[in-house]
Amino acid sequence: MQGQSVLSGPVRLCAAAIGQLAEVVSVPSYDRSGIEAGIVHFGVGGFHRAHQAMYLDRLLELGEGRDWGICGVGVLPSDRRMRDVMYEQDCLYTLSVTHPDGTWETRVVGSIVEYLYAPDDPEAVLAKLADERTRIVSLTITEGGYNFSAATGEFDAHNPAVVADLAPGAVPATTFGLVVEALARRRERGLAPFTIMSCDNIEGNGQIARTVFTAFARLRDPDLADWIEHNGAFPDSMVDRITPASTAGTAAEVAQRYGIDDSWPVVTEPFTQWVLEDAFPLGRPAYEKVGVQTVADVAPYELMKLRLLNASHQALGYLGYLSGYRLVHEAAQDPVFERFLLRYMDTEATPTLRPVPGVDLDVYKRTLIERFANPAIGDTLARLCADSSDRIPKWLLPVVRRRLRDGGDITCAATVVAGWARYAEGVDEQGEPIDIVDPLRERLGALARKQHAKPTAFLTERAVFGDLGDEPAFVAAYLAALRSLHDNGAHTTVAAASAD
């Protein structure tokens, strides 16, 4: 069993140490030196390394996909640390699958073969993107990285970073600027556009990617935008694997269990799923050989995941935190929250879904509860609560709008929104400050603090809620939940909302 023997180390994770590491963990059996990068990926974080890079690693183990290695790209200042780790570790990292019984399965993943940090050398990134060997550009840039309004669906052309990238002679600094400049170079050289594969949690992520990249291109050159629109491919995808943020404790655990010094290990759950629209004009890895579902229509799977898993995560986040919990499994193991989640999923979210081929939704929903309750993951509620203004409009509010249209119950969904508003006040039920992580933190916080005097203040942020603040049924359900949160606390409010 892995972990029974420990290296005398710690041994620094790098290509030269693979032979030693093989004594305690699984390592690549394939020769990484001859792998060519056919995929450029923006946003190399924990999820990408637990998911897309893991699937390609599996394929390489089968002796296939050697022209589909991954070149990671960092764009943001926060990506500097990943740059340093990737350089120091020859782009290797450990991926540990943690089971509910406490056992670990750990592997060194070798499918990322190159890493470029755009602020260091944007021309190197452009050259890689424009190279004819690059046939897929994949993205995990978070919901907020697509720069569009969830309320209107429009690309934000006034974003200062976008404006700067569109200035004459500007050196591209954003994902949009880099990708579109590379597409312009490919067009000039007579090369077809690479496929842009979004792997972020957005409904219709392929269409959203098409919309935002062509919108940026149109601001730069309408003819280029037309070329991208007519020749580009933007497949939809549904991705699923709960992957908490790595911490210093994660690295210490890997060092203790195996004697491996990995500066940025990844820990994830056993469950993994990837449903991918099979639309790749320039080819793709044989993902279907390693468990990826390639289908003609991703939408049913996508809605299932966003409205059941992702929206339920939001339900656990704010209300669980306000109830005094700090870890996801602690809240999920509370029978009150279990009833609340199942009531939301059964009576509010499920009626908005399309039939999902090959999936028993009742089994899927029970499995979600089990996944949330896995104590081995150690995921934090604070992570689920981050970037709420990007997540709630894309995952939960579509359920509210559909239920309002159909005249259905929205008690649980309205309670989640009220929980977010109460959380956004920045103080928990014990009077302790809450560290709010959100791009609209200041604006939404100011509105939340007004709601004791003006209960509907939070709903006036139209960039988030659009016209939902004008819907009497939603406002009534929201106000009832908010009043209960202030008067009775989160746990009692959740219990009342989940009662039959």
Q: Give 297-328 as a DSSP string.
A: --HHHHHHIIIIIIHHHHHHHHHHHHTT--BH
- Residue identified by tokens 């704010």 is 318
- pLDDT of 3: 44
For residues 217 and 224, is the Cβ–Cβ distance under 8 A?
Answer: yes
In eight-state DSSP terms, residue 15 is: G
Residue extents of the structural domains in the chain: 11-295, 299-498
Question: Residues 408-415: what's their mean pLDDT?
Answer: 98
What are residue 276's DSSP bridge partners? 237, 294
pLDDT above 90 for 192: yes
Is 11-295 assigned to CATH 3.40.50.720? yes
Among candidates 17, 66, 8, which has minimal Cα distance to 38?
66
Residue 155 backbone dihedrals phi, psi, to 5 degrees = -70, 135
Task: Give the separation between CA 358 and CA 355, rounded to whole angstroms.
Answer: 9
Average pLDDT value over all residues in the chain: 96
Question: Residues 4-26: what's their mean pLDDT?
Answer: 91
| Non-local CB neighbours of 446 within 8 Å, separated by 6+ positions | none
CA separation, residue 99 to residues 5, 41, 147, 377, 397 (Å): 19, 28, 37, 8, 33
pLDDT above 60 for 291: yes
Gyration radius of the chain's alpha carbons: 23
Joined together, the tokens standing for residue 298 give 């991703």
pLDDT above 80 for 150: no
- pLDDT of 23: 95
In eight-state DSSP terms, residue 113 is: E
| Residue count of the chain | 500
Q: Where are the alpha helices (DSSP H) in 92-204?
A: 122-130, 160-166, 175-188
Task: Give the separation between CA 50 and CA 495, rounded to whole angstroms.
Answer: 35
- Residue identified by tokens 């044989």 is 286
pLDDT digits over 40-76, tens only? 999 999 999 999 999 999 999 999 999 999 999 999 9
- pLDDT of 43: 97
- pLDDT of 6: 85
Q: Measure the CA angle with vertex 385, ends 381 and 388; round to 5°.
A: 165
- Give me the torsion for CA of 124, 129, 130, 133, rounded to 10°: 110
CATH fold for the domain made of 299-498: N-(1-d-carboxylethyl)-l-norvaline Dehydrogenase; domain 2 (1.10.1040)
Q: State whether residue 340 is helix, strand or coil.
A: helix
- pLDDT of 96: 98
Q: State whether residue 494 is helix, strand or coil.
A: helix
- pLDDT of 78: 94
- Residue identified by tokens 């579509």 is 398
- pLDDT of 5: 76
SS3 content of the chain, % helix, strand, coil (to 5): 50, 15, 35
Q: Where are the alpha helices (DSSP H) in 78-236?
A: 80-88, 122-130, 160-166, 175-188, 205-220, 222-231
Burial class (CB in 10 A: 0-12, 13-18, 19+), 454: exposed
- Residue identified by tokens 């193991």 is 333
pLDDT above 60 for 4: no
